[in-house]
Amino acid sequence: MSNKKKIGILGASGYTGAELVRLLLRHPKVEIGLLTADRRAGQMMGDVFPQFAPYQLPQLVTIDSVDWAAAGLDLVFCALPHATTQTVVQELLSKAPDTKVVDLSADFRLTDPAAYEKWYGHAHHALDLQQEAVYGLVELYRRDIKKARLVANPGCYTSCAILPLVPLLKAKAIETDEIVIDAKSGMTGAGRSAKEEMLFSEVSEGFHAYGVGHHRHMAELDQEFSKAAGKEVTPSFTPHLLPINRGILSTIYVRGRRGRTAQDLHAILAEFYAKEPFVHVLPFGKTPQTRHVRGSNMTMIGVAADRVPGRAIVVSTLDNLTKGASGQAVQNMNLLLGFAETVGIDQPAVFP
Amino acid sequence: MSNKKKIGILGASGYTGAELVRLLLRHPKVEIGLLTADRRAGQMMGDVFPQFAPYQLPQLVTIDSVDWAAAGLDLVFCALPHATTQTVVQELLSKAPDTKVVDLSADFRLTDPAAYEKWYGHAHHALDLQQEAVYGLVELYRRDIKKARLVANPGCYTSCAILPLVPLLKAKAIETDEIVIDAKSGMTGAGRSAKEEMLFSEVSEGFHAYGVGHHRHMAELDQEFSKAAGKEVTPSFTPHLLPINRGILSTIYVRGRRGRTAQDLHAILAEFYAKEPFVHVLPFGKTPQTRHVRGSNMTMIGVAADRVPGRAIVVSTLDNLTKGASGQAVQNMNLLLGFAETVGIDQPAVFP
Amino acid sequence: MSNKKKIGILGASGYTGAELVRLLLRHPKVEIGLLTADRRAGQMMGDVFPQFAPYQLPQLVTIDSVDWAAAGLDLVFCALPHATTQTVVQELLSKAPDTKVVDLSADFRLTDPAAYEKWYGHAHHALDLQQEAVYGLVELYRRDIKKARLVANPGCYTSCAILPLVPLLKAKAIETDEIVIDAKSGMTGAGRSAKEEMLFSEVSEGFHAYGVGHHRHMAELDQEFSKAAGKEVTPSFTPHLLPINRGILSTIYVRGRRGRTAQDLHAILAEFYAKEPFVHVLPFGKTPQTRHVRGSNMTMIGVAADRVPGRAIVVSTLDNLTKGASGQAVQNMNLLLGFAETVGIDQPAVFP
Amino acid sequence: MSNKKKIGILGASGYTGAELVRLLLRHPKVEIGLLTADRRAGQMMGDVFPQFAPYQLPQLVTIDSVDWAAAGLDLVFCALPHATTQTVVQELLSKAPDTKVVDLSADFRLTDPAAYEKWYGHAHHALDLQQEAVYGLVELYRRDIKKARLVANPGCYTSCAILPLVPLLKAKAIETDEIVIDAKSGMTGAGRSAKEEMLFSEVSEGFHAYGVGHHRHMAELDQEFSKAAGKEVTPSFTPHLLPINRGILSTIYVRGRRGRTAQDLHAILAEFYAKEPFVHVLPFGKTPQTRHVRGSNMTMIGVAADRVPGRAIVVSTLDNLTKGASGQAVQNMNLLLGFAETVGIDQPAVFP
């Protein structure tokens, strides 16, 4: 009999669900025991994602059909749309309180109920869990995550901005009122729903900004930046859509505080991440490319001097489906279940 | 006998050369009388760009083989590499002083010899012509261009930043020390030379910044911005490479001066360009996409409020080969030869 | 007062509709008088396709709201889904019998009512018009088209196969039972409806066949091939989807009849199309690329010898939205309204 | 002390070299002991492929600098250009005769010296080794490979055609004189050399055939097909270039022999590959997509009936860098070194 931990994935027909399956299929310490996908229930995973046809996986079922108490799941990944997540997780944890949950939606990322209500337009339906949840960016909250039951996996844009900026804010090394984050994301970040603006012919051979001046990931940025800086921080942030599948790259413009140079900022980041397996700081002056983290859980960060005196340009990149979502989620799972942090997610990037 | 004007294109085997041929083949008032391409001399244009095989065009020749005095050219487009351009244009104008020249290289864009020397690493070889040359951004220098003999066609990145920013700087509507220009360009902007980093497999499905902190187009930006503002302006500028063929999009972060709001900035631009055929300012809050200017000479500009009080986000886009190079060059030609400004370049964009 | 012909476009919010607008906006002899788009009625064309925002165009209306008798349209392009087209065209021609119609759907392409019923699953609703309609491939039916009222614009796949094969079949130069057509199309051929399998992330960086063994364009191929050969011809035909926007390329495998070599086949095609403005036969042994016809109305055809004795490989390409749909439709319009055949559609391809 | 096997990679700066490093870095039973790259000698692998910067790898050296006898390598992958390979492998095996070699070039694939000379234009320089080499398509030559010292890894196009066709030829189930293989490959199959026709702007948004009627992979096809059929077989084969990085898809047209239907052919393939870990035969009538094997060592094969009676369409796909090159090479390594066949190469595909 297998002594592997038994894992469930809610929302397996989306891209983050598929990425979880990809990573878990070769994770030596777990087995997939449950896959839900309400609209595709009754089908096999290979019908929804043909790359999995050669593998043995449980049939897709609806969430409602799951008996949480009897399911015997050690950990559940929740890759459901925002809002429905709250009630599903509440139900799950009331029936199976010992199950660990890593939630990939935005539902438990904001700690302030008022902030949640402001950005999402309704009161949170599971305030207790909102308070219980730990923000799942391992590099910043490793200790808390190890003790947690419910982890809120961070957003892809936010991870790509928090990782380079929080160490600088904690060190009070940059001005807090001049931060500009120009972020570009591959299309998988927009999910798998069939919308005209996401059709191949609307996206390929082109580029554009969206949500200019107002995007929900700003709430997470504000929360984490303000916490790090010890005061309210409101960065400028503009997301754009790249005609690629995977990858986020953020070009971040900052001004050093009290004479800090770009090299000083680089030194802070290099030291902060020196021992981290999933954050690689490039030599000063070099900047990273999305393609070199494709399919991997790696974050790459570069720092260069701006020609404008006192200013620096920080460039960070990660794969939005891996370190920006499902790889990060498995990293959280590894901590929650007591595994080595890198197991199952240490593959190098797929380039070219 | 045709009374069309006779046009030469130097450097016809590159992308801007091909774009000139595309536009001129259907221009009703000109005919192509000369095509040079040193490495492809002796071949037909259809060998170098098969889309032109069905058309009658002169055989490619070397520049050295041209007898400028006898060539009888009314206007020459010079699409040669930087630096070699200077001596070629000098030779041409000394032999055929009545020929008009539109130069697509950077050689005559900077008016200050010292700035040229600083950015290009050597003294200019044709200082008289450098002083004579007019900066060929029609929307700003229309009058001067009409009287010119030598026009320096602007760079693609610079056009995409100057068009949205110069009206704001002239109106003293934005702070000059907080301008951030995050620019993204399609690959044709990098030309047609065979380099490893430009291979399909190195470029597709990825994205990156380059020349971070130091890029030659900065010299043009500084020149035109400082002239418009009446004082020295040094913007932050970061170019990136998009996995698309055509299109530049610049996301520009500015702070309004003396209480100017984003809507005020929008109003300035909308008024400035109200009658321009090749600049379209979108309604306030909307931002443009590269795909909607593809293959056309149109520039699209949008302005939105940043959530950071006092800041605005300006997004501009143009096709780097058309309005950013060859379309702009034909627009200059139309003025130099006394044609209506829009003739031959008024095609709508090719989307999808 | 304008003496331009007045044109209507039904179904202007789809890709073939947009391509018609692109071509007609710069056609010197027509003006767009009507644009319909049922789901987008009340909006401007620039809301649906932002590249047209700078242009003056009629507001989008529903088809039901049009008074055909009063509309005063000289010609209507019908770019509607299959089946609904029949009743719309019947209604239109009953109210405005002098209006010319170019239909871009498949509804009037098949002359045999039984064939229509077999492939489309229902009896044709306008049998009289089905008989009246002329198949609108200009290179084969130029004379009939000039006298027609209703023209059935051919399918994109079919045009790309009929143009290279019909001259060979007419000359009885190839075996009719060994024709293999391996066809690859860009995504715009699939239209603009929001389907999961057409999302960018499902399409980019990949390739696949579809409709293997059964595709409706086969009906048109059978009809035209059999007519040309004077006997029933049933080719093997497999369509594939390319991760590009525009372009069809067909690789066609044939066996020469009675000792005809590949060079013989090339000679037949070269002679057949010698004077055609929109079909370019390459030198023997050279084959074309989709990118060199992008955005143009050109078809390019190449013929090479197979190493298998007696066999030849014919490669043809066209832009599915231009020569494969809207450019072909304007070519038909030019004949129907007595204009020169090439006016408005003689632009060279947009490459790169 | 590690008891991992020590591996060398010759030609590590190319794409198949990088793919080998990607796979071997997480292979539990080997360690990379040598990386050569003549033009990049002295650099680190992370300079040539930045995705490897976070990993510990040997510095790149020239081939000439290697002391084969002292190197202590258990197995060497040779990913060098054709022709130079012969002398390098001969030298290597003369100095270190116990080293196993998996050669990814074409140099040892043809068993007939005359065939080699015909297709490559010169006599083979290592005829003994040519005779010794085993053709490394595991599914067909597993037993021979296990006993071999030198394995000739098959070509990517050929693997994608041999896997679906050889079982049918062995069963004498298809006519041998009507085989048409229409093959389409991603750009990484063309390697990493800087050529104009491989630039992003020349490749993206387009498609074309090349080597029509004459391509060196034909020699391998003829050899393996003729061997399987027991008589000379010469298929029609046309390669095309897709604007994607990874993936080959072959659409193969065959005629069943003696009444064999498409379903019969499907049954033969399904049975032949029932227990193979890296060949997945889809249900009858379904055909595969390149994206679903991306980055994996899986081959997917589908069979559908053609509407032409007696004919079938077989579609096969694999990742040209993995199963078509480096994954196949590691599969060979696993056999040569006595490991389980799937170790290190059992990752699911990376989609989207």
In chain D, the N- to C-terminal Cα span, in Å, equals: 40
Q: Residue D279 is which amino acid? A: V
What pLDDT does residue A217 have? 82
* Residues of B with Cβ-Cβ distance to A308 under 8 angstroms: 177, 234-236
- Is D137 within 8 Å of D293 (Cβ atoms)? no
User: Is residue D181 located within the same domain as residue D262?
Assistant: yes
Alpha helices, DSSP H, located in chain D:
15-25, 45-48, 68-71, 84-95, 113-120, 127-132, 138-147, 156-170, 200-203, 217-229, 262-272, 327-336
- Answer whether A280 sits within 8 Å of D54, measured CB to CB: yes
Strands A299-305 and A279-281: parallel
* Residues of D with Cβ-Cβ distance to A21 under 8 angstroms: 348
Q: Is the CB of B174 inside 8 Å of chain A's CB atoms? A: no
| Residue B325: inside a domain | no
- Answer whether B352 sits within 8 Å of C18, measured CB to CB: yes
Bond from prior residue into C81 cis (ω within 30 degrees of 0): no
Among C115, C149, C111, smallest CA distance to C127 is for C111
- Is C160 within 8 Å of C181 (Cβ atoms)? no
* Residues of B with Cβ-Cβ distance to D204 under 8 angstroms: 187, 200, 204, 243-245
| Residue B70: inside a domain | yes
How far apart CA D213 and CA C264 sit, in angstroms, is 16
* Residues of D with Cβ-Cβ distance to A280 under 8 angstroms: 53-54
Number of neighbouring beta carbons within 10 Å of residue A43: 14
- Answer whether D290 sits within 8 Å of C246, measured CB to CB: no
> Least CA distance to B348: which residue of chain C?
C22
User: Is residue C171 located within the same domain as residue C238?
Assistant: yes
How far apart CA B227 and CA D4 sit, in angstroms, is 67
- Answer whether D280 sits within 8 Å of A53, measured CB to CB: yes
Strands D311-318 and D299-305: antiparallel
Please identify every stretch of chain B with a pLDDT value under 50, giving residue numbers as ranges: none
How far apart CA B73 and CA D229 sit, in angstroms, is 67
User: Is residue A119 located within the same domain as residue A192?
Assistant: no
Specify the 3-state DSSP secondary structure of D67: coil
Q: What is the DSSP string of B99-137?
A: -EEEE-SSTTT---HHHHHHHHSS--S-HHHHHH-EE--
| Contact map slice: A 262-281 vs D, CB within 8 A | 280
- Answer whether B352 sits within 8 Å of C188, measured CB to CB: yes
* Residues of B with Cβ-Cβ distance to A351 under 8 angstroms: 206
pLDDT tens digits for range A28-63: 999 999 999 999 999 999 999 999 999 999 999 999
Which one of D251, D254, D263 would you mutate to disrupt binding with C, by most C Cβ within 10 Å of its Cβ? D251
What pLDDT does residue B214 have? 81
DSSP annotation of B322: I
Q: What percentage of residues in chain C have a pLDDT greater than 70?
A: 99
Edge-first strand listing for the sheet containing C311-318: C208-209, C236-241, C180-185, C248-255, C311-318, C299-305, C279-281
Structure tokens at C172: 């009885």
CATH value at residue A171:
3.30.360.10
What pLDDT does residue C215 have? 79
- Answer whether D53 sits within 8 Å of A26, measured CB to CB: no
Q: Is the CB of B204 inside 8 Å of chain D's CB atoms? A: yes
- Answer whether D51 sits within 8 Å of A25, measured CB to CB: no
* Residues of A with Cβ-Cβ distance to D289 under 8 angstroms: 50
- Answer whether A289 sits within 8 Å of D348, measured CB to CB: no
* 3-state secondary structure string across D10-38: ECCCCHHHHHHHHHHHCCCCEEEEEEECH
Strands D208-209 and D248-255: unpaired
* Residues of D with Cβ-Cβ distance to C352 under 8 angstroms: 201-202
Specify the 3-state DSSP secondary structure of B24: helix
Among A308, A284, A289, smallest CA distance to A299 is for A289
Chains in contact with C, where contact requires at least 3 CB pairs less than 8 Å apart: A, B, D
* Residues of A with Cβ-Cβ distance to C244 under 8 angstroms: 204
Q: Residue A145 is which amino acid? A: I
Structure tokens at A56: 């043995």
CA angle A220, A225, A228 (to 5 degrees): 130
- Answer whether C348 sits within 8 Å of B295, measured CB to CB: no
User: Is residue D10 located within the same domain as residue D89?
Assistant: yes
DSSP annotation of C245: S
In chain B, the N- to C-terminal Cα span, in Å, equals: 40
Among A168, A18, A169, A10, smallest CA distance to A92 is for A10
User: Is residue B286 located within the same domain as residue B163?
Assistant: yes
pLDDT along chain D (352 residues), means of 10: 89 98 97 97 98 98 97 97 92 98 97 92 93 98 98 97 98 97 97 96 98 87 97 97 98 97 98 98 98 98 95 98 98 98 97 98
What pLDDT does residue C82 have? 85
Q: Is the CB of C313 inside 8 Å of chain D's CB atoms? A: yes
| Residue B53: inside a domain | yes
* Residue A64 neighbours by CB under 8 Å, 6+ apart: none
Of D198, D243, D244, the CB nearest to B199: D198
Is pLDDT of C180 > 60?
yes
User: Is residue B116 located within the same domain as residue B170?
Assistant: no
Identify the helix (H) or strand (E) that includes residue C45: helix C45-48
How far apart CA D209 and CA C183 sit, in angstroms, is 12
How far apart CA C122 and CA C187 sit, in angstroms, is 28
How far apart CA A340 and CA A48 sit, in angstroms, is 31
Is pLDDT of C1 > 60?
no
| Contact map slice: A 238-257 vs B, CB within 8 A | 238, 240, 242-247, 249, 251, 253
pLDDT tens digits for range A2-15: 689 999 999 999 99
How far apart CA C328 and CA B288 sit, in angstroms, is 31
Alpha-carbon gap: B195 to the closest alpha carbon of chain D (Å):
5
| Residue B246: inside a domain | yes
| Whole-number Cα distances in Å, A91 to A97, B176, C253, D317 | 10, 55, 61, 44
User: Is residue C216 located within the same domain as residue C107?
Assistant: no
Among B101, B276, B295, B278, smallest CA distance to B188 is for B295
Structure tokens at A247: 């990858």
User: Is residue A208 located within the same domain as residue A270?
Assistant: yes
| Residue C349: inside a domain | no
What pLDDT does residue C35 have? 98
User: Is residue B176 located within the same domain as residue B256?
Assistant: yes
Structure tokens at D162: 């041999």
Q: Is the CB of D201 inside 8 Å of chain B's CB atoms? A: yes
CATH value at residue A32:
3.40.50.720
For B314, phi then psi, to 5°, come to -110, 130
- Answer whether D187 sits within 8 Å of B200, measured CB to CB: yes
Alpha-carbon gap: A323 to the closest alpha carbon of chain B (Å):
16
The band of C213, judged by pLDDT with boundaries at 50, 70 and 90, is confident
Across the range A291-311, mean pLDDT stands at 97
Among C352, A351, B196, B243, smallest CA distance to D245 is for A351
How far apart CA C63 and CA C48 sit, in angstroms, is 17
Domain count for chain A: 2
Of B49, B205, B350, the CB nearest to C22: B350
What pLDDT does residue D217 have? 81
| Residue C342: inside a domain | no
Q: Residue A333 is which amino acid? A: M
Of A201, A244, A245, the CB nearest to C188: A201
* Residues of B with Cβ-Cβ distance to C346 under 8 angstroms: 26
Q: A28 burial class (0-12, 13-18, 19+ CB within 10 angstroms)?
A: exposed
How far apart CA A210 and CA A238 sit, in angstroms, is 7
Alpha-carbon gap: D340 to the closest alpha carbon of chain C (Å):
31
- Is A80 within 8 Å of A88 (Cβ atoms)? yes
Q: Is the CB of B214 inside 8 Å of chain A's CB atoms? A: yes
Identify the helix (H) or strand (E) that includes residue B60: strand B60-61
* Residues of A with Cβ-Cβ distance to D346 under 8 angstroms: 26
* Residues of D with Cβ-Cβ distance to C311 under 8 angstroms: 236
By annotation, the residues of C acting in catalysis are: 156
Structure tokens at B138: 């029609």
The band of C214, judged by pLDDT with boundaries at 50, 70 and 90, is confident
Bond from prior residue into B352 cis (ω within 30 degrees of 0): yes
What pLDDT does residue A174 have? 98
* 3-state secondary structure string across chain A: CCCCEEEEEECCCCHHHHHHHHHHHCCCCEEEEEEECHHHCCCCHHHHCHHHCCCCCCCEECCCCCCHHHHCCCEEEECCCCCHHHHHHHHHHHHCCCCEEEECCCCCCCCCHHHHHHHHCCCCCCHHHHHHCEECCHHHHHHHHHCCCEEECCCHHHHHHHHHHHHHHHCCCECCCCCEEEEEECHHHHCCCCCHHHEHHHHCCCCEECCCCCCCHHHHHHHHHHHHHCCCCCCEEEEEECCCCCCEEEEEEEEECCCCCHHHHHHHHHHHCCCCCCEEECCCCCCCEHHHHCCCCCEEEEEEECCCCCEEEEEEEECCCHHHHHHHHHHHHHHHCCCCCCCCCCCCCCCC
Q: Is the CB of B203 inside 8 Å of chain D's CB atoms? A: yes
Of A206, A287, A308, the CB nearest to B247: A206
| Residue D148: inside a domain | no
A-C contacts (CB, under 8 Å): 62
Q: Is the CB of D192 inside 8 Å of chain B's CB atoms? A: yes
Q: Residue B172 is which amino acid? A: K
User: Is residue D26 located within the same domain as residue D113?
Assistant: yes
User: Is residue D114 located within the same domain as residue D241?
Assistant: no
Alpha-carbon gap: C347 to the closest alpha carbon of chain B (Å):
7
Of B194, B196, B204, the CB nearest to D204: B204
- Answer whether A200 sits within 8 Å of C15, measured CB to CB: no
- Answer whether D201 sits within 8 Å of C352, measured CB to CB: yes
Q: Is the CB of D208 inside 8 Å of chain B's CB atoms? A: no
By annotation, the residues of A acting in catalysis are: 156
User: Is residue B173 located within the same domain as residue B314?
Assistant: yes
- Is C318 within 8 Å of D245 (Cβ atoms)? no
- Answer whether B192 sits within 8 Å of D205, measured CB to CB: no
| Residue A330: inside a domain | no
Residue range(s) defining the domain that contains residue A128: 5-132
Q: One of B156, B219, B254, B321 is an active-site residue; which one?
A: B156
| Whole-number Cα distances in Å, A333 to A26, A322, C210, D206 | 14, 14, 39, 43
- Answer whether C192 sits within 8 Å of A196, measured CB to CB: yes
| Whole-number Cα distances in Å, C285 to B317, C163, C182 | 42, 18, 19
Alpha-carbon gap: A198 to the closest alpha carbon of chain C (Å):
6
What pLDDT does residue D163 have? 98
CA C169, C173, C178, C180 torsion-angle sign: negative
What pLDDT does residue C222 have? 96
